[in-house]
Amino acid sequence: MPDARTIIAALRDRKGLPGASAEWFADGLASDGVTDAQAGAFAMAVFLNGLSEAERVGLTLAMRDSGQVLDWALPGPVLDKHSTGGIGDCTSLLLAPALAACGAYVPMISGRGLGHTGGTLDKLEAIPGYRTDISTDDLHRLVADTGCAIIGATGDIAPADRRLYAIRDVTGTVESIDLITASILSKKLAAGLQGLVLDVKVGTGAFMKTMDRAEALAKSLVATAEGAGCRAAALITDMNQPLASSAGNALEVLEAMETMTGNAVNQALWDVTVALGAEALVLGGLASDEEDGADQVDEALTSGRAAEVFGRMVAALGGPGDFVDRYPDRLPAARVVRDVPAPRAGFVTEIDAEALGHAVVHLGGGRLRGGDRINPSVGLSDMMPIGEPLAAGETIARIHAASDGDAEAALAAVIAAYRIGEDDPEEPPLIHDRIVA
């Protein structure tokens, strides 16, 4: 019978992590049979010595099986998407209903903001009445009736990951690709998925700043998901600038709704959503190839069918029944709105997207400490992209703040995040690479 000390010692001495050891340790994390010190030592041993592909699969499955694993009996494939996090990344709000409109079923278990990046649950909770905490029975009913539900994880979903995640945060082991992989996939696979598309961000606003790191994570995620029995593909997408022109919870919902309803389409947001959706439909057998999948997702968005599904989901989860028709009136607005003037004429040559994310957090749109209350109305909008020509004094972004003092602090942060030069720069591609098994 394994025990914590022998498992940790084997990892320390590069003797590996057999499946039985992974199962024992995951059960110990979930049941508190493993101490915090032992969990920290385990995480550090994995961080320093790594895991093989088979060991990553074993740890992921053990963490998945530490809690409830959902089972579905539906007439279409159960699909989902995961993003590694970025600024202005509200693709989930468009993608889940678009996939449902194409015949998929999407139990999207999402998270809250982490560090400088926004969280899908925080964005949806900007909608008055929207509930992200529902029972498993309600989730089954809602997905069957509506086609999609974007909610938070219950306490029964991958409890081993919840414990290990907190330990990683305080032991300097957050960056381990093995542990990131097991953390992401244990929760996603517990949703009973048949296909998963992964959006791995790279650039100044991403956790993975370089292509080497992003590729390593994407390959690990795809190989591990496939090894665990779930079809998967990954796109490495750009985060050297915000994806949408807004960053902040209600502001991103507003932009997603404008795009979904065709009132003011953000083309970059649309294009990344369509590309991710195409991959998911192929994985689920609903599209013959990526071109067919892209056409289907594009039609679901253009026709308004995705918006209709989104409206039904919002109403079913406690939000306004007329949200799609009245979303500008239903979302909270900030008390102070201030334009950020360009300090000089030229082109936007570079953006520190992470700095923009931190500016939103400091406005109150994210958490500086666990338990902080979020102000859903604050953030940034109308952010100029790389390559945009500017006159001196022209607006490069608009600040939405709770007070004049907050707006003044954000003004300096936004100006510092933008680089303006004389030469028209080459714009970064939206999608850098595609990783498949």
By annotation, the residues acting in catalysis are 80-83, 120, 168, 183, 187-188
φ/ψ region of 147 (left if φ > 0, alpha if ψ in -120 to 50, else beta) reads: left
d(CA 303, CA 97): 12
d(CA 227, CA 33): 28
Rg of the Cα trace of the chain?
A: 22
The pair of structure tokens assigned to 72 is 């579905």
The pair of structure tokens assigned to 218 is 């994407």
Distances (CA, A) of 198 to 45, 82, 162: 27, 5, 20
Classify burial at 67, counting beta carbons within 10 Å of its beta carbon; exposed 0-12, middle 13-18, buried 19 or more: buried
d(CA 73, CA 76): 9
Distances (CA, A) of 327 to 74, 95, 254, 270, 324: 31, 18, 7, 19, 6
Helix axis angle, 267-283 relative to 91-101, nearest 10°? 40
Per-residue burial over 365-400, b = 16 or more CB atoms within 10 Å of its CB, e = otherwise: bbbeeeeeebbbbbbbbebbebebebeeeeebbbbb
Cα 139-305-197 angle, rounded to 5 deg: 60
3-state secondary structure of 78: strand
